[in-house]
Amino acid sequence: MKKILSVIAMGLALSMGAAHAADAPAGKQQGKMATCSADFKATGKDGKERQGFMKECLSNKPAAAKPQGKMASCSADFKTTGKAGKERQAFMKECLKK
């Protein structure tokens, strides 16, 4: 009886783990696909336009990469000014607006 219960418990645990794994995106591309799909749904556009929207969205570089690149560029620009660290916040704020 104990063996049967342990086998049932093991099967249940494995099936729950597999179901949970299916919910989470398994990679960058699938995560990007989920994000693009959610963005399309938010636009309220017709389903006919989805293919073009998804193609464009998936071909774009991650949006997070652009601000980080800008931040690095502004930080490098600040270092070349030779100004004190106290002035960095104002400099960065102005630089990132551009």
pLDDT tens, residue by residue, 54-80: 888 888 765 544 556 788 888 888 888
Question: Could you give the CA distance from residue 15 to residue 38 in angstroms, rounded to a whole number?
Answer: 27
Residue 28, amino acid: K
Low-confidence ranges of the chain (pLDDT < 50): 18-22, 25, 64-65
Could you tell me the CA-to-CA distances from 95 to 19, 43, 67, 90 in Å, in that order? 47, 31, 12, 9
Find the helix packing angle between 28-43 and 50-59, rounded to 10°: 140
| Lookup result for tokens 């607006």 | 97
| Lookup result for tokens 């990007």 | 32
